[in-house]
Structure 1
Amino acid sequence: MRSRLAITLALFPSLIFGLTLAGCSQSPGSQSSYEMANSAAAQSGEHYDGHPVSPIHQVASDPVSTFAVDVDTGAYANVRRMLLAGQTVPADAVRTEEMINYFRYDYPLPDDRAAPFSVTTDVATTPWNPGTRLLRIGLRGYDVARSQRPPANLVFMVDVSGSMQDQDKLPLVKQALSTLADGLRPDDSVSIITYAGWVETLVEGSHDPAEIKAALNGLDAGGATAGGPALSIAYDLARAHRVPGGINRIIMATDGDFNVGLSDQQSLEEMVKQNREDGITLTTLGFGQGNYNDAMMEAVADLGNGNHAYIDSVLEARKVLDEELSSTLFTIAKDVKVQVEFNPGAVSQYRLIGYENRALAEEDFADDRVDAGEIGAGHQVTALYEIVPAGGAGWTGQRKYAANRPAAATDDSTDIATVRLRYKLPEGDSSRLIERPIPATLLAAAAGPRGDMAFAAAVAAFGQKLRGDTKLGSFTYGDIARLAGPQSGYWRQEFVQLASLADAGHRSAWGGSAGE
């Protein structure tokens, strides 16, 4: 069998063409790469809910940054699918935080399960801007062995409509969910419903992997897409077989193309909101291309206190539904929010890389009624801020009028910032607070990123470059590949290969030479 990297090399010519449109600089008088890529997505029928790149904030006037955590990985796998197929990558399809969080980093396990995750911070110089620094915040949840997790009540909700007949859709769904069935325990319960122009229950409350896999193997595609009625029935099944104190989750496998019943996204979101309070979570698994509705898939998973993944291969199915099964299913902390308060005596400007659709108002942080992200067992969350040390030139010049300029800040502490985290335990209603100061010594001693930090910065730059982030300056795909450096492990090696191919595509398209 050919390796994925070998297949990547075989696709090299078409990859060059795709990256020429999606990742190269705009030529004079031409349509921007952002506009071309998003136009191509609209013409293909795929749907993305994009957000502008996070803006620059002045610490003197806006010192606090607040966001909900995100452990989704769908954007990275979907972007990889497009790159390997030589397609343009719509900027709206790229969520940089999901690309960063696709990979695992060397964060310590929490010392005590009383606090379900550890908090790690570090600072490095920014590879693409010598005047700024990168602040990394990393969370790692405690691990739970498969044998130790609570029993699971799962409802597989499988789209078998006509749009799912392609090889990268229903056939891959069957393989993916069969992989999950192989990882089930005798005390787990599985129901399977399918939906096309009608909804059918194939398996209800089964503990037999052979029965589950036989039902999956018999699926065929055809008909319209009655997604709304199917989701309602899936919630009913989940309630009927509820496991008290266990995992109760719906796993929706679809391309997201609902067209019968509750077909508008707002109605679907309302249904999910109404049911999540009943303790039934929702995971969405995206498949296929052409009519893929990423916007719906990501939104309902977030509202359903679950997670969103995109399955583009059997390898990805094994990663998401076998290797990461415990973290996918078992929530150890919910409504997790991050708030960073910067010290104006140490930092003058900042921007959060990614998390645009996870931004929260400052007052939302302490409001336990505001929904936020969930962390599963073994999950990791990484966030990167690009910051300007006090006294540095920064991205914006000094204002002309004295009244528009902030008073000189005094360094009233030994911190550059304070990180606060709020979370609830899975069965809790009141949040708990973790607070960590970030010592100024980290800023003073910042050196070039190495190891895990270098790789995280490389992935962040890759996502931002695909998004058309102008703050990267002249940082190239080649620079990104070099920053990532030689890697061990399949998934990291594959990323370096993608960045290297993107570099070659860029240089070929514009007649440049290596190192440009």
Structure 2
Amino acid sequence: MRGTRLIAGLALCAVIAGCAGNDSSDMAAAPPPPPARAPASQEVLTVTGSRLAKASAADMAYFAPPVVVATDPGREKYDGKEVSPVKLVAAEPVSTFSVDVDTGAYANARRFLTQGMMPPQDAVRTEEMINYFRYDYARPQDRSQPFTVTTDVAKTPWNDNTYLMRIGLRGYDIDSAERPPANLVFLMDVSGSMNSPDKLPLVKTALAGLAGELSSQDKVSIVVYAGAAGMVLEPTSDTGKIRRALESLSAGGSTAGGAGIELAYRIAEDNFIKGGVNRVILATDGDFNVGVSDTKALIELIENKRDSGITLTTLGFGTGNYNEAMMEQIANHGNGNYAYIDSALEATKVLGEEMSSTLFTIAKDVKIQVEFNPAVISQYRLVGYENRALREEDFDNDRVDAGDIGAGHQVTAIYEIVPAGTKGWIAPRRYEDVPAEAARTKLAEAANIKLRYKLPDGEKSRLIEKAVPSGLLYAAALPKGDFAFAAAVAAFGQVLRGDEMMMGYSFDQIGRLAGDQDNFWRQEFLRLNALAGSMKGG
């Protein structure tokens, strides 16, 4: 490793409480004191390994979100899109979009709600809320096709004239023994804006937890940036070294985020593992204010790097000055994923339990295209995915970038559809043509779904096609079980967004639709929904 990269500027030394890469014991900081013990009779859920188990309330306190006073979100930056418009099948029968496996919008909305505020409408992306949860999709039988495709149809709970069509993808799982080696660069913001309990201390907890999940074949480097960028830990598999280096860091100075990203990619390139996972993991509040700080310029920088085989994961932290627009967009363009970490429990979920799906790609550039039959479906709208929309011609173009799916990942998309001949959102047109003969001869098909994907080392895409039978519409009832919960989360997101086509559907109705749940994360959703309802009066 080039010695000139160990520290790029004396300004960095002010935020590092020890020698870079030093393995001596003076780098280890004393652990924080334990929280005050709660009465032993209280029982709550906590995390043990990858499972949720019963533990005392005192243990759970370690996983509670940091205590942060609710702040005005006016300084936070979001890039909200308008709610997807209704499409007439006769005019626009084809819907095309890139898959999205990000979950940050849900965790960020949770942060607002638990602090007593409704999240800004621009902060809500419904597809990320739906995809925060897992559903009962069939496992792939073998790796010849890296994911399964599930479709189902139900009546819409909030509109008697429409139906919901759900598309679910599930990637195959990989055992730890067959994981490829990983070359990870932790890129950490240690600027003054990170000097808050919900920022740098939580970053340390998150990345220390990830370090404990890695194997001897994996390598971790640590790059930090404040007024300057530098490397504080050369590649190592030693968990103790990683954790001591993390603990040595403190916050201070301005934020040269662009310089940090450039250095992190260079370190990743120097240690590139052919056939392995090569990824930069950026942990920041996104408050870049030195050097390359414009989101568009950062996107261009990251797009130039992704073709090298190095992907980018962004982990968002903090409140008040959080730049979510930048975090979500650069992850999309870096062929990675975006998550918001609001507690140590969320860090354990994202970087512990879901590490394989976060890091190990099984299919890349995954696109979905749905063609509706105008003889069966007259109108539709895609719930969410507004910033993932693609042009119809992009679907067959292998040069157009799209989302990736990791091992065990799931992707869910929901369309709201109107059967032909029934009342929809848009009144019939006076001069509307009858459906073409080709459509009328395929009345057994309501829609045709196409998926394109590339294998991780491939450049040519593969195609999967699946027809949605019209019979699913005729037999449809209100959603139940797993589908009902997915519909409830979709409704939750759309109501938070102020979607006028939700027909006045209330948080109370969402809670009844979701039903009783025995899963920790789904139970939390019920509590958040009830909390939102209490703020809005039901």
Spell out, residue by residue over 1:286-318, the C-alpha distance to the aligned partner (whole angstroms, 9 max, x if none).
000111011100111011100000000000000
Map 1:40-439 to 2 at 5 A.
41=73, 43=74, 45-399=75-429, 401-402=430-431, 405-408=432-435, 411-413=440-442, 414-439=444-469
Correspondence for 1:491: 521
Distance 1:216 1:89 in 2: 32
Correspondence for 1:510: none
| CA positional deviation for 1:264 | 1.1
Contact conserved, 2:118 with 2:532, CA < 8 A, in 1?
no
| CA positional deviation for 1:266 | 1.5
Distance 1:505 1:197 in 2: 41
Spell out, residue by residue over 1:358-401, the C-alpha distance to the aligned partner (whole angstroms, 9 max, x if none).
000000000001000000000000000000011110001123x4
Runs of 4+ in 1 over 4 A off after TM superposition: 1-8
| CA positional deviation for 1:265 | 1.2
What amino acid does structure 2 have at the position aligned with 1:117?
A: F
Distance 2:142 2:387 in 1: 31
Spell out, residue by residue over 1:147-200, the C-alpha distance to the aligned partner (whole angstroms, 9 max, x if none).
321000000000000000100000000000000000010010000011101112
Distance 2:255 2:533 in 1: 41
SS of the equivalent of 1:341 reads strand
Contact conserved, 2:90 with 2:435, CA < 8 A, in 1?
no
Distance 2:504 2:118 in 1: 21
SS of the equivalent of 2:176 reads coil
Contact conserved, 2:230 with 2:263, CA < 8 A, in 1?
no
Spell out, residue by residue over 1:43-65, the C-alpha distance to the aligned partner (whole angstroms, 9 max, x if none).
3x100001000000001111000
SS of the equivalent of 1:147 reads helix
What amino acid does structure 2 have at the position aligned with 1:176?
A: A
Distance 2:433 2:110 in 1: 44
Distance 1:473 1:411 in 2: 32
**Correspondence 1:475 to 2:505:** yes
Distance 1:194 1:377 in 2: 29
What amino acid does structure 2 have at the position aligned with 1:467?
A: R
The number of equivalent residue pairs is 475
Distance 1:502 1:76 in 2: 13
Spell out, residue by residue over 1:241-274, the C-alpha distance to the aligned partner (whole angstroms, 9 max, x if none).
1111000000000000111111111111111011
Spell out, residue by residue over 1:275-295, the C-alpha distance to the aligned partner (whole angstroms, 9 max, x if none).
100000000000001110111
Q: 2:533 aligns with which of 499, 503, 507?
A: 503
Correspondence for 1:22: none
Spell out, residue by residue over 1:463-490, the C-alpha distance to the aligned partner (whole angstroms, 9 max, x if none).
0000000110121000000000000111
Normalization by structure 2: what TM-score?
Answer: 0.86
**Structure 1 unpaired stretches of 5+:** 12-17, 19-36, 508-515
Spell out, residue by residue over 1:324-381, the C-alpha distance to the aligned partner (whole angstroms, 9 max, x if none).
0011000000000000000111100000000000000000000001000000000000
SS of the equivalent of 1:436 reads strand
Correspondence for 2:50: none
Normalization by structure 1: what TM-score?
Answer: 0.90
What amino acid does structure 1 have at the position aligned with 2:177?
A: S
Distance 2:463 2:118 in 1: 43
Correspondence for 1:449: 479
Distance 1:146 1:259 in 2: 40
Distance 1:302 1:242 in 2: 21
What amino acid does structure 2 have at the position aligned with 1:411?
A: R
SS of the equivalent of 1:89 reads coil
Distance 1:499 1:296 in 2: 27
SS of the equivalent of 2:321 reads coil
What amino acid does structure 2 have at the position aligned with 1:79?
A: A
Distance 2:347 2:359 in 1: 15
**Correspondence 1:464 to 2:494:** yes
Distance 1:381 1:293 in 2: 25
Distance 1:167 1:4 in 2: 23
| CA positional deviation for 1:506 | 2.2
| CA positional deviation for 1:406 | 2.7
SS of the equivalent of 2:244 reads helix
Distance 1:199 1:503 in 2: 45
Distance 2:502 2:277 in 1: 43
Contact conserved, 2:183 with 2:277, CA < 8 A, in 1?
yes
| CA positional deviation for 1:501 | 2.1
RMSD in angstroms over aligned alpha carbons?
A: 1.8
Correspondence for 2:49: none
Distance 1:78 1:48 in 2: 11
| CA positional deviation for 1:201 | 0.9
| CA positional deviation for 1:408 | 4.9
| CA positional deviation for 1:4 | 8.3
